[in-house]
Amino acid sequence: MYCPFCRHPDSRVVDSRTTEDGTAIRRRRSCPECGRRFTTVETAALLVVKRSGVTEPFSRDKVVAGVRKACQGRPVTEDQLAQLAQRVEEAVRASGAAEMPSHEVGLAILGPLRELDLVAYLRFASVYQAFQSLDDFEKAIAELRLQGAQN
Ligand SMILES: [Zn+2]
């Protein structure tokens, strides 16, 4: 890749190590042209299979966009959305699968979203678990009450 400082088209790897969680490799690189150093991170490509069968790279931005809709009018910050997306990516990567149906990505969002905001969780769950009626909402709310949810 290009040196981010001088755009020289080549660089030398001076150090290479696996991240603590084992899902990425961090390489320290040195530019032979300007001598500056920079870091690259290498991760396995993670593909999401959409209902149509089309695959696309996993994107935290898309997770955030989907959750943001459910969070409209709720006291949820952009930072919290970014953290949630990071947790979802970690969960999805931890599954070890190179490809994952978009529906399962949606399910991976439910846990962290429930901790973040219960109303947003119910909105999101109603879409991803295809709630059909008020009964489905009542059941989901009863479950939350059973689990001692407070807000
Ligand atoms: Zn350079």
List of the chain residues with pLDDT < 50? none
Residue 66, both tokens: 């989907």
Instruction: Report the separation in Å between the CA atom of 6 and the middle of ligand 1, taken as the mean of its atom positions.
Output: 4
Structure confidence by residue, pLDDT tens digits, 62-87? 999 999 999 999 999 999 999 999 99
Q: What separation in Å is there between the alpha carbon of 25 and the centre of ligand 1?
A: 22
- Pinpoint the alpha helices (H) of 96-151: 102-116, 118-128, 134-146
Query: Phi and psi at residue 59, in whole multiples of 5°?
Result: -135, 120
3-state SS, residue 47: strand
Residue 10 Cα to ligand 1 midpoint, Å, equals 8
| CA 31 to ligand 1 centroid distance, Å | 5
Cα of 30 vs centre of ligand 1, distance in Å, is 8
The predicted structure's pLDDT at residue 67: 95
Ligand 1 mean position, distance from CA 11 (Å): 8
Question: Can you give the pTM of this predicted structure?
Answer: 0.70
pLDDT reported for residue 131: 81
Q: How far is the CA of 17 from the centre of ligand 1 (A)?
A: 22
pLDDT at 23: 76
Q: How far is the CA of 124 from the centre of ligand 1 (A)?
A: 46
Sort strands 55-57 and 47-49 into parallel, antiparallel or unpaired.
Answer: antiparallel
Residue 6: the pLDDT is: 97
Backbone φ and ψ for 38, nearest 5 degrees, come out as: -150, 170
- C-alpha span between 57 and 121 (Å, rounded): 25
Instruction: Please give the pLDDT value at position 150.
Output: 57
